[in-house]
Amino acid sequence: ERLRETVTDIADWLDKSGEKRLVFDDQPDRYWKAALSSAPSVDEWMMLGKATVEWLAQPYAFAVALSEVCASATSGGSHSWTPDDQIEAYPEVVITANGGAASGIEFTMNGDTLTFDSAIGNGQSLTISSLSYTVITSPSTDTDLTGAFDPGALVMAPVSGDFPLLLPGSNSWTVTYTGGATSVTVCVRWRRRYR
């Protein structure tokens, strides 16, 4: 009876469609996006109490916890930091105007420059997602950094340039803008990747 219950529990755990997070007990700080390559043999489970499970997984593991670095700057200001990452990552950058509107925003990170040829009002945000290659004029709702975005907030017409990439080692950004904003707050969020 206990064996049947265990087999049922495992079958319930494996019965998922699409990629899911696969976490191993000896590395609880990371997960792999994985899916079963084929269904295990139910007869093998029932007769032997064990089965072989094979996964198809993406090549890199992802950190369970998100990383974030925020800093404020006036037009022409910059910030640099050195994350403990060994593999490049696709960040989300949120630029928030303080003390007035900001327009003609040019954001450069590690040599990649993206220009937003429009304006955001005081307290409003511009979200640049390198995960989905999108720009929206609102705070991000992609709390899990999967590349999700609100299509109603999408503003790609005034956007040109390259989406930023976070690199191993030293990273830096520069922001320029016009308008009455006394400063902007720039938050770079990403999910670390592991080999």
For residues 193 and 141, the model is more confident at 193
pTM listed for this prediction: 0.88
**Widest CA span in the chain:** 73
pLDDT in tens, 32-87: 999 988 877 777 767 776 778 888 999 999 999 999 999 999 999 999 999 999 99
b/e 92-130 (16+ beta carbons within 10 angstroms → b): bbbbbbeeebbbebbbbbeeeebbbeebbeeeebbbbbb
DSSP codes, 68-86: EEEEEE-TTEEEEE--S-S
Residue-averaged pLDDT of the chain: 93
pLDDT at 52: 80
pLDDT in tens, 97-130: 999 999 999 999 999 999 999 999 999 999 999 9
Can you read off the two tokens belonging to residue 108? 């450069």
Q: With CA atoms as reference, report the closest residue to 108 among 76, 68, 70, 66.
A: 76
pLDDT at 11: 79
pLDDT of 156 above 80: yes
Can you read off the two tokens belonging to residue 164? 């930023």
Question: Distance (Å, rounded) from C-alpha 165 to C-alpha 124?
Answer: 24
pLDDT at 135: 97
Question: Distance (Å, rounded) from C-alpha 148 to C-alpha 135?
Answer: 11
**Out of 30-44, 130-144, 157-171, which region has the weakest mean confidence (pLDDT)?**
30-44
For residues 194 and 37, the model is more confident at 194
Question: Distance (Å, rounded) from C-alpha 183 to C-alpha 99?
Answer: 7
